Structure 1
Amino acid sequence: MKLPCEVEVISRMLPTFGMRSRGKGSRAVLSIGRQQDKQAGKGAAIYLMICTLKDKAGSRYKLQENVEQFFTKFVEEGKATVRLKEPAVDVCLSKADVSNLKNFISTVRLANRGTDVGTISLSSLTPAKSSEIEKPRTKMMITSKKDYPITKNFPYSLEHLQASYCKLARIDMRMLCLKKLRKLDLSHNHIKRLPVTIGDLVCLQELNLHNNHLESFQVALCNSTLQKTLQSLDLSQNRIKALPIQFCQFKELIHLKLDDNELVQLPFKMGQLSKLRFLSAARNKLPSLPHSFKRLFLENLDLFGNPFEQANPLVPSIQLKIPLTLLESAARAIINYRIPHGPHLIPAHLCQDLAVTKTCECGLSCLSSFIQTTVTMNLHQVSHTVVLVDNMGGTEAPIICYFCSLTCYSQFLDKYLQSIR
């Protein structure tokens, strides 16, 4: 069997000569097999062979009755040490696959005891290939169509993949097999739709889809494991008109770029993105900002070039129904009193309705019976740095406000009229 990992062979005689080990492992392939000796016949001993880039032919160490001790305290971290009697060296292993390392240690134990290892697959002790020893590739940059791999797979060890200016019409399914991928840059392509399976990239932290042909962002992606890992998302220069309500489940988002789309509104529960620090949604079609926007705490905000409407608190949209319907009263009670609910207790469509309840300025909730208006908000209230909203030097934008009753709206009007006198 073979085990790729990092290895350092430390002689225990070094302190005797006043020397120390360099404390750094080298990429290597370890093999366990029988010594290729025609004279030895079937009784040939089992050896451990270590091949590195500097020594592809490999160094061999006999295993039978030659292991003094095993150190496996950190085997779950891919680390272990095998102490040999002759020569007096410690073979220190690190950065190994945990499952393969455990199997490897078990085989070494059997070989040391002289137990019959006929049932275990042994390797031929032949020099390793350079491709077996080289450090796994973690970064790959492709910036033209001619360089895009057609017949070869992407290295499974990739953590950062860029495939820009390749005229991709869809995401290559081979990319979705790269389970270690942390950063995926597919900017400057022709991608129209994102596959749901992109949510299977359990380590993905950065996704760049700048300058593509995207028209929507699927709800299924918002419900995937990306909501726990995604920290940076670039959807700028696409054709997106709206983002789903579930988009705000990306609770780990820090950077979000939505510039140069066709957005007519931002996600209803934008304020739930508690870790968001950098937001840009310049040159869209936003008439106003959602009510929850004022709950954000940003470091940088760019909303330049949106056709924001003039806020007019004195001209509200009245959707208040008096008396309240039974559904409205029940919905308000569930949210205001934090009554547990879910699809296992009430119909699923009611759960969806409760997910979009509005919050009145008094702090209480309302569902479909409310008064809506817009007020002006200085964007410095939510961001340390604000890019000017227009060429006139403004940093204010209209934000939607809701009122659950005529009383709440009247109290708001009194304060507003006093402030403008």
Structure 2
Amino acid sequence: MKIVGNVEICNRLLPSLNIAGKGRSQWSSVGIGKLHGKDSELFILHQSAQNKLGTRYKVKNNIEQVFTRFVNEGKATIRFKSPPHDLCIKCDSLQLKLFLRTLKLGLENKIPAKTLLLSNITSTSRMPSAPKTKLAVLSRADYPILEGFPRTLHTLKINCAEQKIFDTRILKLQSLKLLDLCNNEITWLPEEIGLLPSLECLHLAGNKFGQVPVNDKRWNWISGGSIVKKLQVLDLSNNELIVLPKQLCKLKKLETLKVEKNNLIKLPPGIGNLSKLRTLAAGHNKLQYLPGSVKRLRLDLLDLTYNTFDSITDEQLANNLSVPSLLECAGRRVIKSRSVVRLE
């Protein structure tokens, strides 16, 4: 049996020689089998593009331990006694489980020898190519209408492709972490997008989401499925938005929110619930005040340039914002410092 994935070989002796023992992960194949002959021993064969002949590891009485704690995530490590190598494997979890099962049965002599001939494993002329993890579609002519999208994608960018409707084939990309649909003509997303288990970054700038009222059910994708627990970056810039949907305030992991170049007249009152938010970019809008809940945010970057705050008085701003003045903040700091000194 042979599996294909990212494999890293760690030599445990190198740290004792003041040499970094951690190797580089390579796209490789790992097979298990025997040489020709009745008394041939069981081997594990590791092959890569740089080592086409492969490295054989004796199995019987040579495996110190097999680490399977993260096997459900497609990760396992086989520790050999001689040479003192750790074979760190990362691949499809189902294939990995079958491989480890075959290894166990092979050690117990429960598999016919003919089915484990090493020659059957090495008969392929070349290494399988690494799966495609990134794809950029930068024009309508480049759009993969017939061939679709590789299921292994981690990053998908579809920019300036004149898309008016969300392509539901994207919903099959279970490994997708970053989806960039900027500069199209999309007005809404399906609620099923929340079923993408790994989606962390969603870029939607330069579309037409402002054409859908914020109380419309077509905004439910924001608060559905895994998006609430996983999404870290949301870009809704340049979408003709007047107000933001209240569902946005449920994004527990959101760290970056970009809503520049819209027509926003206010921010959601519950925006202070975004406890993980560190970047809020809301420049080039029509904001006149901020909701009082913003004082609960712990922002590293706040961009409110080119808004209309100067159209209202300081007194109105203070009443709406419920935030103390700079003088009051300074006074509180002085009182707090004196209290600390007295306690000491």
Whether TM exceeds 0.5 here: the answer is: yes
Q: Based on CA coordinates, which of the two structures has the bigger radius of gyration?
A: 1
Structure 2 counterpart of 1:174, from 155, 169, 183: 169
Answer yes or no: is the 8 Å Cα contact 1:233–1:255 preserved in 2.
yes
Instruction: Give the Cα separation in 1 of the matches to 2:30 and 2:51.
Output: 12
Answer yes or no: is the 8 Å Cα contact 1:57–1:127 preserved in 2.
no
The 1:242–1:8 alpha-carbon spacing in structure 2 relative to 1, beyond 3 Å, is closer
Answer yes or no: is the 8 Å Cα contact 1:67–1:82 preserved in 2.
no
Structure 2 counterpart of 1:149: 144
Answer yes or no: is the 8 Å Cα contact 1:75–1:101 preserved in 2.
no
- % of aligned pairs identical? 31
Structure 2 counterpart of 1:31: 31
- Corresponding residue SS for 1:175: helix
Answer yes or no: is the 8 Å Cα contact 1:51–1:133 preserved in 2.
no
The 1:7–1:229 alpha-carbon spacing in structure 2 relative to 1, beyond 3 Å, is closer
The 1:199–1:72 alpha-carbon spacing in structure 2 relative to 1, beyond 3 Å, is same
- Corresponding residue SS for 1:265: coil
What do you get for the CA RMSD once the two structures are aligned? 3.9
The 1:171–1:311 alpha-carbon spacing in structure 2 relative to 1, beyond 3 Å, is same
Kindly state the Cα deviation for residue 258 of structure 1 after the two structures are TM-superposed: 0.9
- The code of the aligned residue for 1:79 comes to A
Kindly state the Cα deviation for residue 28 of structure 1 after the two structures are TM-superposed: 1.2
Q: How does 1:335-350 map to 2 (within 5 A)?
A: none
Structure 2 counterpart of 1:3: 3
Structure 2 counterpart of 1:189, from 184, 187, 191: 184
Structure 1 counterpart of 2:100, from 102, 105, 121: 105
The 1:84–1:291 alpha-carbon spacing in structure 2 relative to 1, beyond 3 Å, is closer
Answer yes or no: is the 8 Å Cα contact 1:223–1:246 preserved in 2.
no
- Corresponding residue SS for 1:204: coil
Unaligned runs of 5+ in 2: 323-344
Instruction: Give the Cα separation in 2 of the matches to 1:375 and 1:11.
Output: 67
Instruction: Give the Cα separation in 1 of the matches to 2:262 and 2:42.
Output: 65
Kindly state the Cα deviation for residue 54 of structure 1 after the two structures are TM-superposed: 2.9
- Corresponding residue SS for 1:256: strand
- TM-score (structure 1 length as normaliser): 0.60
- The code of the aligned residue for 2:67 comes to K
Structure 2 counterpart of 1:302: 303
Structure 2 counterpart of 1:375: 316
- TM-score (structure 2 length as normaliser): 0.72
Answer yes or no: is the 8 Å Cα contact 1:204–1:229 preserved in 2.
yes
Structure 1 counterpart of 2:341: none
Structure 2 counterpart of 1:72: 66
Instruction: Give the Cα separation in 2 of the matches to 1:129 and 1:151.
Output: 30
Kindly state the Cα deviation for residue 211 of structure 1 after the two structures are TM-superposed: 0.6
**Higher helix share goes to which structure?**
2
Q: Does 1:53 align with 2:49?
A: yes
The 1:10–1:227 alpha-carbon spacing in structure 2 relative to 1, beyond 3 Å, is closer
Answer yes or no: is the 8 Å Cα contact 2:240–2:262 preserved in 1.
yes
Structure 1 counterpart of 2:264: 263
- 1:364-400: per-residue Cα shift (whole Å, max 9, x none)? xxxxxxxxxx7224xxxxxxxxxxxxxxxxxxxx836
Unaligned runs of 5+ in 1: 314-373, 378-397, 402-421
Instruction: Give the Cα separation in 1 of the matches to 2:127 and 2:243.
Output: 47
Instruction: Give the Cα separation in 2 of the matches to 1:293 and 1:31.
Output: 57
Instruction: Give the Cα separation in 2 of the matches to 1:160 and 1:285.
Output: 33
- The code of the aligned residue for 2:143 comes to Y
- 1:144-180: per-residue Cα shift (whole Å, max 9, x none)? 3333333334333332222212222223223222233
